[in-house]
Amino acid sequence: MSVLVFAETSEGKFKKSAFEVTSYGKKVAEQLGTNVVVLAINANDAKLLHKYGAEKVLIVNNPSLKFNAKVVADIIKQAAEKESSTVIVVDSNANGLYVAPIAAVNLNAGYASNVLGLPSSTSPFTLKRKAFSSKASNFTQINTAIKVLSLSKNSFGLVENEVSGVVEEFSPAIVESNLTSVSIEQTSGKVTIADADIVVSGGRGLKGPENWGMVEELASVLGAATACSKPVSDLGWRPHSEHVGQTGKPVASNLYIAIGISGAIQHLAGINSSKVKVVINTDAEAPFFKAADYGIVGDAFEVVPKLVEKLKEFKANNA
């Protein structure tokens, strides 16, 4: 028995979520009285995972291997069989969510997505997960011998747990796939909503795309990603990839700052899992104030530039 974690890399470096799923996998393994094995593909420094409790790292070194969900899911299956894993954990990034259902079918396993924490019981194996776009949570029981789960981002956090582990080379067979990656367009240099600890988001209250300069400046001072409400992307003021909410991207950041966003139920559904929410809105009656932790009733065009200025001072003093 073992718990198998898939730790995702990007250009050789682990994503932050890789450390979170490793931390999580280690604790699940403890609950089950077993060990955690972490699988990583083309990672430069596999040893980094020991800090989060990885007793064993399986490393696939194959530079010609580009991400293909079917191929990666099959590698996960081979690793799970080799390590007799009964629980497989992936993250909730785009690739993790792509791979998990495929791996589940390959392993004839029940799959629970959007998992919010450690199993509340290991027999039956029961997990709390997000449901109804974070308007509620659901306890799901997995009935199969092998279980696949995807951990909701930032729901467990990084837990340091240094172990002296081993790194083992793993050379799985590579399955054929006639789904070909033609190209990748990366929005360069920007923090993505999926990776961000802080997200700064603008709504229709900002009046037009020409006013996003201050939003971007605020995001850059905070090292944050930028986001927007649905009408803002529908109007073409901002790209679709920034649309957050029930029908957009979910946000599970540590801090979410909403500027000129009313706080409609569909918007809140997507950002509820953020830990701390701040609202800046002229209308004290805007529903967002009911969902937020901190609020400023005021005009964004006055508040945001001031906030940028003061944050710059704050950053300079606290550097």
Partner 1 sequence: MKILVCISHVPDTTSKINFTENDSKFDSNGVQFVINPYDEFALTRAMWFKEKQGATITVVTVGNATTEPTLRKALAIGADEAIRVNAEAIDGFTVAKELAEVLKNGGFDLVLAGKESIDYNGGMVPGMLATLLDYNFVNACVGLEIEGDKASIQREIDGGKEILSANLPLIIAGQKGLVEEKDLRIPNMRGIMMARQKKLTVVEPSVNENATSSVSFEKPAAKSACKIVDNVDELISLLHNEAKVI
Give the binding site for ligand FAD (CB under 6 A). Answer: 203-205, 229-232, 245-248, 260-262, 264, 266-267, 270, 280-283, 286, 299-301
Report 170-189 residues binding partner 1 (CB under 8 A).
177-187
**Residue position matching structure tokens 């995702």:** 8
144 binds, among partner 1, ligand FAD, none (CB under 5 to 8 A by kind): partner 1
Q: Which of 206, 255 has the CB closer to ligand FAD? A: 206
Site track 224-263 with partner 1 (rule: CB under 8 A), x = hit: ------x---x-----xx-x--xxx-----xx--------
Structure tokens at 291: 């969902």
Residue 37's DSSP bridge partners are 4, 56
Q: Which of 62, 144, 220, 282 binds partner 1 (CB under 8 A)?
A: 144
Total binding residues toward partner 1, as defined by CB under 8 A: 92
Q: Which of 207, 290 has the CB closer to partner 1? A: 290
* Helix (H/G/I), strand (E/B), else coil: 317: helix
204 binds, among ligand FAD, partner 1, none (CB under 5 to 8 A by kind): ligand FAD
Q: Which of 19, 212 has the CB closer to ligand FAD? A: 212
Specify whether the CB–CB gap between 98 and 69 falls below 8 A: yes
Q: How far is the CB of 10 from ligand FAD (least distance, A)?
A: 26
Specify whether the CB–CB gap between 72 and 66 falls below 8 A: no
Q: How far is the CB of 55 from partner 1 (least distance, A)?
A: 28
Integer-rounded Cα Rg, in Å, for the chain is: 21
Q: How far is the CB of 227 from ligand FAD (least distance, A)?
A: 9
**DSSP secondary structure string, 229-283?**
-HHHHHTTSS-GGGBBSTTSB----SEEEEES----HHHHHHHTTSSEEEEEES-
Piece of 35-43, 110-118, 155-163, 206-214 that binds partner 1 (CB under 8 A): 110-118
Structure tokens at 170: 């793993």
Q: Which of 146, 279 has the CB closer to ligand FAD? A: 279
Rounded to whole angstroms, how far apart are CA atoms 271 and 258? 10
2 binds, among partner 1, ligand FAD, none (CB under 5 to 8 A by kind): none
Tell me the CA distances in angstroms from 196 to 95, 117, 153, one per residue in order: 17, 20, 10
Rounded to whole angstroms, how far apart are CA atoms 29 and 278? 37
Q: Who's near 314: CB < 8 A, 6+ residues apart?
A: none
Site track 189-218 with partner 1 (rule: CB under 8 A), x = hit: -x-x-xx-xx--------------------
- What residue type is 212 in one-letter code? W
194 binds, among partner 1, ligand FAD, none (CB under 5 to 8 A by kind): partner 1
Structure tokens at 42: 């083309």
Q: Which of 6, 14, 111, 156 binds partner 1 (CB under 8 A)?
A: 111
Q: Which of 101, 287 has the CB closer to ligand FAD? A: 287
Rounded to whole angstroms, how far apart are CA atoms 166 and 146? 24
Structure tokens at 312: 């710059």
Report 17-36 residues binding partner 1 (CB under 8 A).
none
